C-alpha cells in the first residue's frame, strides 16, 4: 500500500478502502505541518490548522480533479487554511499578502543567480541565523523559499499550490532571495 | 538559456537547498496523526447525523402534511361507498349478518375504499417510521441540535 502513488491511494479510497486515506495523511503530515508551522509560526496553532487541512482534504476528496497533482492540491488547501486562520486572527495586516508584484520593477531585473558565499556555511549558528532571517521576510515570500528549497517544489508547483501566476512566483522568489541574502551577509 | 547560466543557476539552487538543510526539521507532534484520524471520524459522524436529521425532517413534513388529506380522502370514500351502512347493519343485527355472511362479506369487500385505505396506511406507516427514526437516533439528533443552538 505504501508504494502506491497519491492518485492510486485516492482511487482506492474512493472505491471504499478506508485505510488508503490514512496512508495519504501519513505521507503528507510532515510536509504540511512544516508548511503551516512556517506560515503561522506557532506550534499549537499549526497543529490545529494541520488537522483542519486534512479534514478539508477528506471533505473535498470526491471533488478532487485527478488530473491535477495531489501535492499541489493539498498544499493549496494548507495555504488557504493558514490564510483563513490569519484572517480570523488578524495577527498581521492582510495587505501584506496582496498585490505585491510590480512593487519594485528594478529589483526583479537584478541577477541573484550566483551561489552563496562559502563563509555563510562556515558559521556554527547558521540554522538559527537563517530562521531569524526568514522571519523578516513576508509570509508568502518565506513560503516560496521553503517550498522551493526545503520541499523541492518546482516553480510551477509553487504557483499551483499558492494559486498565483508563475511569473509572480518567480519575481517574488527573486525578491525573497535578494532580501534573504542581504539579511544573511 | 545559456549553459553557463544553467550551471550557475543549478549551483545556486544546490547552495540554497544546502542552506535550508541547516534548519531544524519540523517534526509533527506525537499524536497529531491520531488526532486527525479522529477528527475525520467525528466529521463523518456529523455528516451522517446531518443526513439523518434532514431525512427525519423531510419525512416529518411529508407525513404531517399528508395526514389531513389522506384522512379526508378515506372519510369521503367511506361515506360514498356505503360501507358504514353495511358495517352498522352487521353490528346492529348480528343474526342477519351470520345467516347471510357470504353476501355481506362480499358487499363489504366491494364497497371498501381501497385507495383511501392505502393512502392512509402509507401515511401512518411513514409517520411511525419517522417516529421510530427519531427515537432510535434521538440522543444523536438532540445533541447535534443542542450544539447548533449554542
The arithmetic mean of pLDDT across residues B47-62, rounded, is 85
> Domains of chain A by range and CATH?
6-89 (1.10.1740.10), 94-184 (1.10.10.10)
Is pTM, for the whole model, over 0.80? Answer: no
- CB-nearest partner of B28 from A33, A38, A127: A33
Q: Report the pLDDT value the prediction gives residue A107, as an integer from 0 to 100.
A: 40
pLDDT surpasses 90 at A38: no
The pLDDT-based confidence of A56 (bands split at 50, 70, 90) is very high
Measured between CB atoms, which of A37, A47, A130 is closest to B19? A130
Chain B residues touching residue A177 (CB < 8 angstroms): 16
Which residues in chain A are closer than 8 Å to B14, comparing Cβ atoms? 115
pLDDT average, residue stretch A143-168:
88
**Nearest residue on chain A to B13, alpha-carbon basis:** A149
For residue B144, pLDDT beyond 80: no
* DSSP class per residue in chain A: -TTS-HHHHHHHHHTT-HHHHHHHHHHHHHHHHHHHHHHH--HHHHHHHHHHHHHHHHHHTTT--TTS-HHHHHHHHHHHHHHHHHHHHT-S-GGGGSS-TTS-HHHHHS---SPPPHHHHH-TTHHHHHHHHHHTS-HHHHHHHIIIIIS---HHHHHHHHT--HHHHHHHHHHHHHHHHHHH-
Give A102-122 pLDDT, tens digit per residue.
Answer: 444 434 434 444 556 565 555
* Residue B7 confidence (pLDDT): 46
Q: Which residues from A are below 8 Å from B37, CB to CB?
A: 22, 25
Q: How confident is the model at residue A1 (pLDDT cuts 50, 70, 90)?
A: low
Residue with cell 352498522: B88
Mean pLDDT (chain B) is 81
Residue-level pLDDT at A58: 94
Q: Is residue A69's pLDDT more than 50?
A: yes
Query: Please, are residues A181 and B16 in contact by the beta-carbon 8 Å criterion?
Result: no
Extents of the domains making up chain B: 64-150
pLDDT surpasses 80 at B127: yes
pLDDT digits (tens, 9 = 90+) for B9-38: 566 777 788 778 777 777 888 899 999 999
Q: Summarize chain B as % helix, strand, coil (round to 5).
A: 85, 0, 15
- pLDDT, residue B11, reads 66
**Complex ipTM > 0.90:** no
Residue A39 has pLDDT above 50, yes or no: yes
Q: Which residues contact A107 (CB under 8 A, 6 or more apart)?
A: A174, A175, A178
Coil, helix or strand for B75?
Answer: helix
Which among A30, A115, A145 has the least Cβ separation from residue B15? A115
Amino acid at each position: 500500500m505504501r508504494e502506491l502513488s497519491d492518485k492510486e491511494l485516492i482511487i482506492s479510497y474512493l472505491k471504499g478502502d478506508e485505510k488508503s486515506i490514512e496512508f495519504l495523511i501519513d505521507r503528507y503530515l510532515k510536509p504540511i505541518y512544516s508548511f503551516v508551522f512556517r506560515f503561522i509560526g506557532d506550534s499549537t496553532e499549526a497543529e490545529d490548522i494541520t488537522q483542519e487541512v486534512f479534514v478539508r482534504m477528506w471533505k473535498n476528496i470526491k471533488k478532487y480533479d485527478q488530473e491535477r497533482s495531489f501535492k499541489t492540491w493539498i498544499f493549496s488547501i494548507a495555504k488557504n487554511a493558514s490564510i483563513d486562520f490569519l484572517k480570523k486572527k488578524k495577527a498581521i495586516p492582510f495587505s501584506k499578502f496582496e498585490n505585491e508584484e510590480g512593487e519594485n520593477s528594478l529589483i526583479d531585473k537584478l541577477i541573484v543567480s550566483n551561489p552563496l558565499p562559502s563563509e555563510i556555511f562556515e558559521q556554527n549558528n547558521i540554522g538559527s541565523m537563517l530562521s531569524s532571517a526568514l522571519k523578516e521576510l513576508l509570509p508568502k515570500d518565506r513560503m516560496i523559499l521553503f517550498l522551493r528549497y526545503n520541499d523541492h517544489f518546482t516553480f510551477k508547483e509553487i504557483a499551483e499550490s499558492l494559486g498565483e501566476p508563475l511569473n509572480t512566483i518567480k519575481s517574488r522568489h527573486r525578491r525573497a532571495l535578494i532580501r534573504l541574502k542581504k539579511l544573511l551577509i | 538559456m545559456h549553459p553557463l547560466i544553467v550551471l550557475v543557476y543549478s549551483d545556486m539552487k544546490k547552495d540554497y537547498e544546502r542552506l535550508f538543510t541547516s534548519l531544524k526539521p519540523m517534526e509533527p507532534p506525537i499524536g497529531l496523526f491520531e488526532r486527525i484520524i479522529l477528527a475525520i471520524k467525528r466529521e463523518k459522524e456529523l455528516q451522517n447525523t446531518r443526513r439523518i436529521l434532514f431525512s427525519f425532517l423531510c419525512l416529518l413534513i411529508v407525513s404531517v402534511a399528508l395526514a389531513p388529506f389522506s384522512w379526508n380522502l378515506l372519510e369521503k370514500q367511506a361515506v360514498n361507498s356505503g360501507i358504514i351502512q353495511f358495517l352498522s347493519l352487521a353490528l346492529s343485527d348480528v343474526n342477519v349478518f351470520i345467516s347471510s355472511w357470504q353476501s355481506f362479506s362480499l358487499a363489504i369487500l366491494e364497497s371498501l375504499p381501497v385507495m383511501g385505505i392505502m393512502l392512509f396506511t402509507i401515511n401512518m406507516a411513514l409517520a411511525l417510521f419517522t417516529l421510530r427514526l427519531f427515537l432510535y437516533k434521538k440522543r444523536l439528533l438532540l445533541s447535534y441540535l443542542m450544539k447548533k443552538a449554542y
